[in-house]
């Protein structure tokens, strides 16, 4: 079986940046991923990525892919990692399609949307319930919608929807919105927006498609007639590696300042880790750090 110097799991901002660094180091490596772009491809308008005063998420994801393609980087996709095994000094990665062996591994698999876990959510998924305003927002043109959450991702969705929706409800369980003040200021100035704080979604209902949601505000139940529900209440790691790696209470991989995990030879980067801030530019920086640490590991160990 072929033994790679390095395998990178994931091709979001962290994984792609790690791959570009690996290509420049001219080591034998491979990317194994479900998709390319990760959460960056879901983002709406981005105004805080250095070098771009304004760029959309899909446009930035395309720039990442073009940079990767310029190096002719090999990507095996779509593949989902199922299990990791440490075998002596080598690491085995078992996916839903193949098994790989590598000397070093960078996990940059990112996160996926956290579900509400309320009645009607599963039944109406892709029938009005969505987790990506960038992907699905245009489907709800001229329709009232509810956005669940009060952080940056929720307000990013709101900023997209106020351009096309006549009514946008923001349902936040917290007493006040936690998103960046600039985003909060823009959203609250929109006449279409109604913010309901200290509110909890109890159920999603409809017929063939979503027709409304039931919420609880200060102990009182209220129904909102909406045709779209955008769930933006945070993210959870895409894969659970807690059987082999040390993770925190939310399933994030614990790393040190050199992106090393609890297993020698396994590194991690980006939103899948316990790094405090989850931002595209931070994921990129973490990807470069992880690759440099992995290259140093390869140069100082015998296999």
**Residues forming a β-bridge with 297:** none
Residue 244: CATH number of its domain: 3.50.50.60
Cβ–Cβ under 8 Å, residues 32 and 93: yes
**Pick from 73, 168, 83, 153: which is nearest to 114 by CA?**
153
Higher pLDDT, 162 or 50: 162
Q: Is the pLDDT of residue 41 over 80?
A: no
Query: Mind listing the pLDDT tens digit for each residue in 198-239?
Result: 999 999 999 999 999 999 998 899 999 999 999 999 888 888
Same domain, 31 and 179: no
Q: Distances from the Cα of 227 to the Cαs of 126, 163, 216, in angstroms?
A: 12, 16, 19
The yes-or-no verdict on residue 5 having pLDDT over 90 is yes
pLDDT tens, position by position, 126-184: 899 998 887 788 889 999 999 999 999 899 999 999 999 999 999 999 999 999 999 99
Residues 12 and 68 in one domain: yes
Given a cut of 90, whether residue 49 has pLDDT beyond it is: no
The pLDDT value given to residue 126: 84
Q: Give residue 303's pLDDT.
A: 87
CA torsion through residues 189, 194, 195, 201, sign: negative
Q: Is 282 left (phi over 0), alpha (psi -120 to 50) or beta?
A: alpha
Cα separation, 113 vs 117, whole angstroms: 12
Q: What integer best gives the mean pLDDT of the chain? A: 92
Q: Are 246 and 227 in contact (CB under 8 A)?
A: no
Cβ-contact 93, 76 below 8 angstroms: no
Note whether 186 and 281 are same-domain residues.
no
Which one is predicted more confidently, 146 or 278?
146
- End of a domain among 183, 216, 231? 231
Question: How many CA atoms lie within 13 Å of 63's alpha carbon, on the beta-carbon side?
Answer: 12
- Asked if pLDDT for residue 58 goes beyond 90, the answer is no
The number of domains in the chain is: 2
CA distance 261 to 267: 5
> In angstroms, what is the C-alpha Rg of the chain?
21
Q: What is the pLDDT of residue 240?
A: 84
Contact criterion met (CB below 8 Å) for 143 and 165:
yes
Q: Are residues 150 and 285 in the same domain?
A: no
Q: Is residue 13 located within the same domain as residue 90?
A: yes
Question: Does residue 243 share a domain with residue 191?
Answer: no
Mean pLDDT within 273-294: 93
Sign of CA dihedral 137, 139, 144, 149: negative
Same-domain pairing of 106 and 244: yes
Looking at the fold, whether 56 and 101 belong to one and the same domain comes out as yes
Is there a single domain that holds both residue 177 and residue 266?
no
The predicted structure's pLDDT at residue 47: 79
Same domain, 158 and 108: no
Q: Tell whether 33 and 168 lie within a shared domain.
A: no
Cross-strand pairs, 213: 204, 224
- Which two tokens mark 91? 């690491």
Contact 281, 50 (CB under 8 A): yes
Q: Which of 201, 231, 261 is the last residue of a domain?
A: 231
Q: Map tokens 């900023």 to a residue.
A: 159
The string over 60-76, giving b where at least 16 C-beta atoms fall within 10 Å of a residue's C-beta and e elsewhere, is bbbbbbeebeeeebebe
Of the residues 231, 256, 272, which one is the last residue of a structural domain?
231
State the pLDDT confidence band at 289, using cuts at 50, 70 and 90: very high
Residues 171 and 221 in one domain: yes
pLDDT for 61: 87
CA distance 234 to 152: 10
| Residue 89 phi, psi dihedral angles, 5° rounding | -90, 0
- Residue 287: give the domain boundaries: 3-112+235-300
Higher pLDDT, residue 109 or 279: 109
CB 301 within 8 A of CB 294: no
């Amino acid at each position: 079986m072929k033994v790679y110097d390095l395998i990178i799991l994931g091709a979001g901002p962290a994984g792609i940046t790690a791959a570009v660094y690996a290509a420049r180091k001219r080591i034998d490596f491979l990317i194994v991923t479900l998709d390319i772009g990760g959460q960056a491809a879901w983002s709406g308008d981005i105004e805080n990525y250095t070098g771009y005063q304004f760029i959309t998420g899909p446009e930035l994801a395309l720039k990442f892919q073009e940079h990767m393609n310029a190096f002719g980087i090999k990507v095996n996709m779509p593949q989902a990692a199922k299990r990791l095994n440490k075998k002596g000094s080598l690491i085995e990665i078992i996916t839903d399609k193949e098994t790989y062996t590598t000397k070093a591994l960078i996990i940059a698999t990112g996160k996926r949307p956290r579900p509400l876990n309320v009645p009607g959510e599963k039944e109406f998924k892709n029938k009005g319930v969505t987790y990506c305003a960038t992907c699905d927002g245009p489907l709800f043109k001229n329709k009232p919608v509810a956005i669940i959450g009060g952080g940056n991702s929720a307000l990013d969705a709101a900023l997209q929807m106020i351009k096309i929706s006549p009514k946008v409800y923001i349902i936040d369980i917290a007493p006040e919105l936690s998103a960046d003040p600039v985003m909060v200021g823009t959203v609250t100035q929109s006449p279409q927006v109604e913010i309901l704080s200290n509110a909890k979604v109890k159920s999603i209902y409809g017929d063939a498609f979503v027709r409304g949601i039931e919420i609880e505000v200060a102990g009182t139940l209220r129904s909102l007639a909406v045709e779209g529900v955008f769930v933006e209440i945070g993210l959870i790691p895409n894969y659970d590696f807690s059987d082999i790696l040390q993770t925190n209470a939310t399933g994030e991989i614990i790393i040190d300042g050199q992106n090393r995990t609890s297993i020698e030879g396994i590194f991690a980067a980006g939103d899948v880790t316990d790094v405090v801030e989850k931002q595209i530019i931070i994921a990129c920086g973490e990807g470069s750090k992880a690759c440099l640490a992995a290259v140093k590991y390869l140069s100082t160990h015998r296999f």
